[in-house]
Amino acid sequence: MIEVQSLTKRYPTQVAVSDVSFSVREGEILGFLGPNGAGKTTTMRVLTGFLPPTSGTARIAGHDIVRESREARASLGYLPESAALYPEMRVREYLAFRARLEGVSGPELTRRVGDAIARCLLEEVADRKVENLSKGYRQRTALAGALVHEPPVLILDEPTVGLDPAQIIRIRETIRALGRERAVLLSTHILPEVDAVCDRVLIIDRGRIVAEGTPQELRRKLAGSPTVRVSIRGAVDASAAIRELPGVTEVEETVEDGETRLRVITAAEADVAEDIFRLAVSRGWILRELARESVSLEDVFVRLTHHDDTAKAPEESSASEAQA
Amino acid sequence: MRKVLAILGREWRAYFFSPLAYVILAAFLLVNGFIFYAILNYLATPGPKGQALVLLFTNTYFWIFNLFVVPVIAMRLFPEERRSGTIESLLTAPVSEGEVVLGKFLGALGFFLTLWLPTLLYVAILRSQTRIDVGPVASGYLGVALLGAYFLAVGTFASTLTKNQIIAAILCFGMLIPIFSVGLLESMFAGAGKDWLNYLNLWDHMDEFARGVVDSRRIVYYLSATALFLFLATVSLSAKKENP
């Protein structure tokens, strides 16, 4: 539904997006993840026809964004980062206006406006003026405006920014439901959002794609070796025995507050937690903690987009991995 | 065309949600109320008075008002959308730049004509009291509409050039002054030069319209100038997209 081929956008002073390629299928939600200023908004503005690309091409529902701009724009709904609305309009009026701009009219217009209001849970405020709405309702009104013409492609720039947690959960549910029958490209710099909403993630940094995959794949690919954290009551010499277990590559041991704490680093596919448990039982150690350290997407993200020299090497290797 | 109408309607209604609209409306009615008073005084003197309403369209205040108010009406058209960010969803909808320009221009023209609406009351009052020729009044309003379209097209173009409303208003004013005053130089020339400048003499044109003279050359001039500036506005809007 969205196909992007080596898209580049250059401003007079900088390259905002550099040779970006990806695609989004129908029924898929692609998360566009990156720090502020990474080029997410610029990419979206190019895809929606608001800015022309410097080079490269993209197709929205089969229509070239430059040569068939109007058809491409007709096939997509766009929620800009600003989620700007006309303050003097009522919610229903605004949605009717947006639908008319998309060429919807007559009874169809009433039906679609009603649908958008229901989908984005705007019934309570449908006849209120935008200027009197809370940030959450405005955001949802803007989202409703983007999907009122029921486009096959949705491009949402930070749809949950500025919302309270309850609103975030609701809007994510809405987006999930929308993603079942559409292609959705969603940008965010909030990591849990990606886990909660997206089927696939694209990490972009300084205008380039540095990683791509499902949240699970990214974690696995970038987590490094699985690690198990162990605490045992009293000072015991556990590290020697644990090091003997199959799959264990390294053990770090510290003793403090009357506890022996160990970090057990293992080979990729090994699961040593059960072995450690049996070992503890046979040795009579009192286990206070036995946990797998999971690498969060946050760690992956920080590792990929951290801009000092120590982090440079893994970033580059993962970039080549993603493109391979 | 439906899309143009949607933009027109939104634009026209938006005027009435800004205090500026009411300030303009109040000032306009004040000026015209004064002119109406002058017309009544004139009617109180002896002599034939069939064309007393000419005064409504040909007086210094009429020009001062149009030269100052049109830039203020037009200044918000694009800068406001750029500032608030609504321009992004407007231009990414499947509408062309031309449709956006036309819709906004017609919305502003609609507001301009709305300002003139209450003056129909003066016409009605005078007609109930004395004999008034309807023809010149109608052509006077036609002249107002054509002039308003021309000036607002200039204002629409000016408002595509900047993000700042004040600068847009000043640019518009700066363009309207030469457009208005070049025809006034007519008296300094003779022969072909004089004819040419007469073609551009807006003050004379309004006099003609107000006296009931509808010259098709005038209509062609106003409509083609309007079209030219709307075209420039469309080009400027597209160019802004390339280089925001």
A240-259 pLDDT tens trace: 888 888 878 888 888 887 88
Using CA coordinates, name the residue in chain B closest to A81. B85
Contact B89 A84 (CB under 8 A): yes
pLDDT at position A265: 80
| Confidence class for position A236, pLDDT limits 50, 70, 90 | confident
Residue A39 to residues A58, A301, B219, Cα–Cα distance (Å) = 16, 16, 51
Mean pLDDT of B211-232: 91
Q: Where are the alpha helices (DSSP H) in A230-308?
A: 239-243, 273-283, 297-305
Residue A57, phi then psi, degrees to nearest 5: -135, 165
With a cut of 70, say whether residue B99 has pLDDT above it.
yes
B7 touches chain A (CB under 8 A): yes
Higher-pLDDT residue of B14 and A300 is B14
Average pLDDT, chain A: 84
Contact A74 B94 (CB under 8 A): yes
pLDDT at position A223: 62
With a cut of 90, say whether residue A172 has pLDDT above it.
no
With a cut of 80, say whether residue B229 has pLDDT above it.
yes
Contact A100 B3 (CB under 8 A): yes
Q: pTM for this one?
A: 0.82
A255 by Cβ neighbours in 10 Å (0-12 / 13-18 / 19+) ranks as middle
Q: Are A185 and A44 in contact (CB under 8 A)?
A: yes
With a cut of 80, say whether residue B241 has pLDDT above it.
no
Q: Rounded distance, CA B162 to CA A84, Å?
A: 19
With a cut of 90, say whether residue A226 has pLDDT above it.
no
Contact B14 A86 (CB under 8 A): yes
Distance from CA of A137 to the nearest CA of B (A): 17
| Confidence class for position B124, pLDDT limits 50, 70, 90 | confident
Average pLDDT, chain B: 88
The closest alpha carbon to A71, from A59, A53, A79, A80, belongs to A59
* Nearest CB to B86 within list A74, A78, A86: A86
| Confidence class for position B171, pLDDT limits 50, 70, 90 | very high
**CB < 8 Å to A78, chain B:** 88-89, 92
With a cut of 50, say whether residue A309 has pLDDT above it.
no
Q: What percent of chain A has pLDDT over 70?
A: 89
Mean pLDDT of B168-172: 95
Q: Rounded distance, CA A246 to CA A13, Å?
A: 56
* Nearest CB to A50 within list B17, B91, B96: B91
With a cut of 50, say whether residue A317 has pLDDT above it.
no
| Confidence class for position A321, pLDDT limits 50, 70, 90 | very low
pLDDT at position B11: 94
What are the pLDDT digits (tens) for A198-218? 889 998 888 888 888 888 787
* Nearest CB to A101 within list B3, B17, B241: B3
Q: For the sheet containing A227-233, what is the strand order?
A: A248-256, A259-266, A227-233, A287-293
Mark A78-109 as b/e (b = at least 16 C-beta within 10 Å).
bbbbbbbbbbbbbbbbbbbbbbbbbebeeeeb
Mean pLDDT of B195-222: 85
Mutate which of A9, A73, A86 to disrupt the B interface (most B C-beta within 10 Å)?
Answer: A86
With a cut of 80, say whether residue B69 has pLDDT above it.
yes
* Nearest CB to B84 within list A45, A70, A84: A84
Bridge partners of A255?
Answer: A260
Contact A100 B88 (CB under 8 A): no
pLDDT at position A324: 33
**CB < 8 Å to B5, chain A:** 100
**CB < 8 Å to B9, chain A:** 97
With a cut of 60, say whether residue A311 has pLDDT above it.
no
With a cut of 50, say whether residue A296 has pLDDT above it.
yes
Round the CA-based radius of gyration of chain A to a whole number and report it: 25
Higher-pLDDT residue of A298 and A217 is A217
Contact A101 B91 (CB under 8 A): no
Provide the ipTM.
0.87
B163 touches chain A (CB under 8 A): no
Mean pLDDT lowest for which of A85-89, A316-320, B43-47, B143-147? Answer: A316-320
Contacts of A127 (CB under 8 A, 6+ apart): A90, A91, A92
Bridge partners of A200?
Answer: A30
Q: Rounded distance, CA B160 to CA B77, Å?
A: 8
CB pairs under 8 A between A and B: 71
With a cut of 90, say whether residue A314 has pLDDT above it.
no
